[in-house]
Amino acid sequence: MARSFGQVSSVTVTILMAIVLCLFLAIDVTHARKPATYYVGGEDGWDTVIPMDTWARGKTFYAGDILVFKYDYQITNMYVVNRAGYETCKPNAGAKEYTSGNDRIQLPYGYSYYIGTYTPEDCSAGEKLAIKALAPPPV
């Protein structure tokens, strides 16, 4: 029995729906926000010249953005710590140390804390940073 033009099989409908869904997803992905890259401390880099929390003030960070820490690896370093490590200027158990002088860290969603610790006085003087990365904005 021949089908008329108005009759469509359920398989055809399913395939068409999948194609439309793929097109919508492809459009959404191509318009997604690209991660921003921030050089922590600007031209001065990761240093006590300015308090790092002052540098971050007024900036909006999103999960996926990249922080670049530039510093003289012979005189300082950088740790990713928890809140207690940030507040005390002492690396907590499990803190991750960076020592290259040119470290790139992609922000996870939520709070992240960073301290410089070769000399605890530097951390106390402002070589520490607390960032809250928001969910990426909708497109």
Q: What is the pLDDT of residues 68-101, one digit of tens each?
A: 999 999 988 999 999 999 999 999 999 999 999 9
- CATH fold for domain 37-134: Immunoglobulin-like (2.60.40)
Domain ranges of the chain: 37-134
Whether the pTM exceeds 0.75: the reply is: no
Phi and psi at 87, nearest 5°, equal -70, -35
* pLDDT the model gives residue 48: 87
The 3-state secondary structure of the chain, one letter per residue: CCCCCCCCCHHHHHHHHHHHHHHHHHHHHHCCCCCCEEECCHHHCCCCCCCHHHHHCCCCEECCCEEEEECCCCCCCEEEECHHHHHHCCCCCCCEEECCCEEEEECCCEEEEEECCCCHHHHHCCCEEEEEEECCCCC
